[in-house]
Amino acid sequence: MALKRLDSIRPVRWDDGALVMVDQRLLPRQYHEHSYRDAGAVAQAITDMVVRGAPAIGIAAAFGVVLAARARYQQVGTGWRAAIEQDLTTLAASRPTAVNLFWALARMRRAVELITAGDPYPPLLAEAQRIHDEDIAANYTMGELGAALIDSPCAVMTHCNAGALATGGYGTALGVIRSGFQAGRIRQVYADETRPWLQGARLTAWELHRDGIPVALVCEGAGAHLMKQGDVKWLIVGSDRIAANGDVANKIGTYHAAIAARHHGVKVMVVAPTSTIDMTVAHGDAIPIERRGEDEVLSLAGQRVAADGVGAWNPVFDVTPAALVDAIVTEKGVVLRPDAGKMASLMGGR
């Protein structure tokens, strides 16, 4: 008998004409959902990290286009198509690194172009829902493909949150971990805290504990020492953008963990849908890296932790070279020891 999937979390959903999103800033202490009926508010929620994770951001933006089209059609009728251009620009500016955002907006734009007459709301809503459903299905596939790479029961390590909360549901890296745990291939998960937003502590540990998967929290600085003990066999992470040569942009600290993993013989698995692969970017150095405000580093839970007058450097992502990656897992298949040729083959020569 097939096991029931560990799949109960939906960070983004459409309900009664509104986009409903879990406020991930409040987890794990408070589970609260916000309803959005305005595209500008959706863009602000993405910027403010109410929703985060590249696939979830893309899905939220797709539903933001639905809200924009509905409002513009009600305001100006047949002139709605030109009127939503500003909304599309606003949504695109909400987070610069997550390529899924631009992929989803491009797909919604193609759906806009196919509408020749009438109310754009029904066809655009159907397209946004397809994007959401396809993401969940892709995560199920990646979960099985990634788990199959793990030879024997072991401990694994993950960084940031690439779980249900970062996607349409189930998760990318945590999808592999969920599938691997249920298959008996993973017996323990170690999650980095992930400063400064503590996604590992607040989100990943919450998700795994909720599903009954053994999880222990570690400081990023403890990762190399943990790997040295020999129990951890895989570092499993997600990605916000993958370059054409297989370089991987992910939450700041991933590069640090991947270097430690290579030194200690720990394999690195990156799990992401093909919508995260940007074949227009030749290598990781060309990926724009978002920087956020100093206060995120200088303060914790609203309390300043550094002396007055001290500054901070706060890049949100870093790039792990393809040479440090053992496997990229996508819904279209697995790329072992990625390079430009293998990535082009995966993506159909594009």
With b for 16 or more beta-carbon neighbours within 10 A and e for fewer, the 161-175 pattern comes to bbbbbbbbbbbbbbb
Cα of 311 vs its chain's centroid, Å? 29
* Max CA distance (Å), the chain: 65
Catalytic residue among 87, 211, 240, 326: 240
CB atoms within 10 A of CB 150: 22
Q: Do 196 and 160 contact (CB within 8 A), yes or no?
A: no
Residues with Cβ < 8 Å from 254, sequence gap 6 or more? 159, 160, 237, 248, 318, 320
CA–CA distances in Å: residue 312 to residues 119, 288, 303 = 49, 19, 15
The verdict on whether omega for the bond into residue 55 sits within 30 degrees of 0, i.e. cis, is: no
State the DSSP code for 231: -
Q: CA-to-CA distance for 64 and 47, rounded, in angstroms?
A: 13
Positive or negative CA dihedral for 212, 214, 219, 220? negative
Q: Distance from first CA to last CA of the chain, Å, rounded?
A: 41
Q: Is 240 considered catalytic here?
A: yes
Q: Do 281 and 243 contact (CB within 8 A), yes or no?
A: yes
Q: Pull the structure tokens for residue 270.
A: 């990156």
Phi and psi torsions of 171, nearest 5°: 105, 165
Residues with Cβ < 8 Å from 275, sequence gap 6 or more? 55, 58, 99, 100, 103, 104
In the chain, alpha helices (H)? 39-47, 54-76, 80-83, 85-92, 99-113, 121-147, 173-182, 199, 205-210, 223-228, 254-263, 295-298, 340-346
Q: Which residues participate in catalysis according to the annotation?
A: 240
